[in-house]
Structure 1
């Protein structure tokens, strides 16, 4: 299993800390043998959970110029028409994907094109499914002019557990559909805003895979 670069340092120091604590317990807490065994088991489980969170599975990416591909693994929690105020200042169709701690947390470009706008917003850490998390939480906003014309906006949104968003794009960059544009550490959400006449291909509650699941089709 490949480990994402964002997790290697965290995993290394976590492993060192767990090993140190367990060795100290085994050395100086020998009478409490049962407790020591339980702690060793709990440490192993905790490390394996952290390890799977930072996994980076191989993906056969699906690409097509007028299709919007899921930017992340998770569950579709919002499909609605909303007023997008940060960039478009008009009505857009919003599709939101909630990423639980057990999902792969790599975020991918939902479409190919040129980054016309990028901004990082510090903010709160409301639970990721809270309606105001899209505008109140720590987040990034990326707007890409697609190869077929329409502009697509997408946001990485931190959740109650996520305390760090990482991004790899800047204004003016050319991006390719399915490639990584960032990583969100622990539970989080990604919102996509597309033109109102975009045809949505998923339903509320549907589970999607980043870089593979078609979530919408642009009108061109």
Structure 2
């Protein structure tokens, strides 16, 4: 199954690869050159297909857990000052996505979208400390039953040139649902309350809509 954001690119790539293979077969007489060109074209098609894959995930929804919004590796776990929306201290967990990871973004929790904003910006490498505030990015804030307001941020990397964000203010969303897509290398930052328990470690590989990132510590529920 492939993500809808990749449909046009997949069709165009398939057409170009098919054309290249056929032209090489009929017009290139040197065998090794013909095979090299055909194999290269097929490899490009395979890479495009694997990048836009969209494996079906059906998480068991749990208000007490924040699930990973994307597949990738945890590269940051620290307490920081969040300056765009909260303007206070938060626990930040950042997940780096390499080009071989699934690049679908999924809602980390169920709740109501309170804030959704796109920011144009630079294309620093995704692990750069300033990428979260300087790069092209989208910021989404959700009101959740157990964690109160949480923020996740899609951050473009050096290769990414388009972030797709489906979150709309006022919308009620469900944990694990498709929230967007980032094309070609990126990272997602989570900003969580200080009184939650982080359940992952640095360099741990996580799976979107499956791996628990944080668990709620017993607290008073928040209301809309």
The TM tier, using the shorter chain, reads over 0.9
Match of 1:70 among 68, 71, 84: 68
CA displacement at 1:60 relative to structure 2: 3.0
Match of 1:85 among 83, 87, 103: 83
Classify the secondary structure of the residue corresponding to 1:79: strand
After the TM superposition, which residues 44-55 of structure 1 pair with which residues of structure 2 at under 5 Å, given as runs?
44-55=42-53
CA distance in 1, matches of 2:136, 2:216: 28
Instruction: Show structure 1 runs of 5+ residues with no match.
Output: none
Contact 1:159 1:189 in 2 (8 A): yes
Kindly report the root-mean-square deviation, in angstroms, between the aligned alpha carbons of the 2 structures.
1.1
TM-score (norm 1): 0.95
Instruction: Show structure 2 runs of 5+ residues with no match.
Output: 220-224
> Is the deviation greater in 183-192 or in 17-26?
17-26
Contact 1:141 1:154 in 2 (8 A): yes
Could you say which residue in structure 1 is the equivalent of 2:40?
A: 42
Could you say which residue in structure 2 is the equivalent of 1:184?
A: 182
CA distance in 1, matches of 2:197, 2:174: 21
Match of 1:217 among 198, 215, 221: 215
Contact 1:70 1:211 in 2 (8 A): yes
CA distance in 2, matches of 1:147, 1:114: 9
CA displacement at 1:149 relative to structure 2: 5.3
After the TM superposition, which residues 115-194 of structure 1 pair with which residues of structure 2 at under 5 Å, given as runs?
115-148=113-146, 150-194=148-192
Is 2:206 the counterpart of 1:208? yes
Classify the secondary structure of the residue corresponding to 2:108: coil
CA distance in 2, matches of 1:59, 1:217: 20
TM-score (norm 2): 0.94
Give CA-to-partner distance per residue, 1:46-72, whole Å, 9 cap, x none.
111111111111223132112111000
Aligned length: 218
Could you say which residue in structure 2 is the equivalent of 1:21?
A: 20
Give CA-to-partner distance per residue, 1:48-97, whole Å, 9 cap, x none.
11111111112231321121110000000000000000000011100000
Contact 1:125 1:159 in 2 (8 A): yes
Is 2:9 the counterpart of 1:10? yes
Contact 1:150 1:218 in 2 (8 A): no
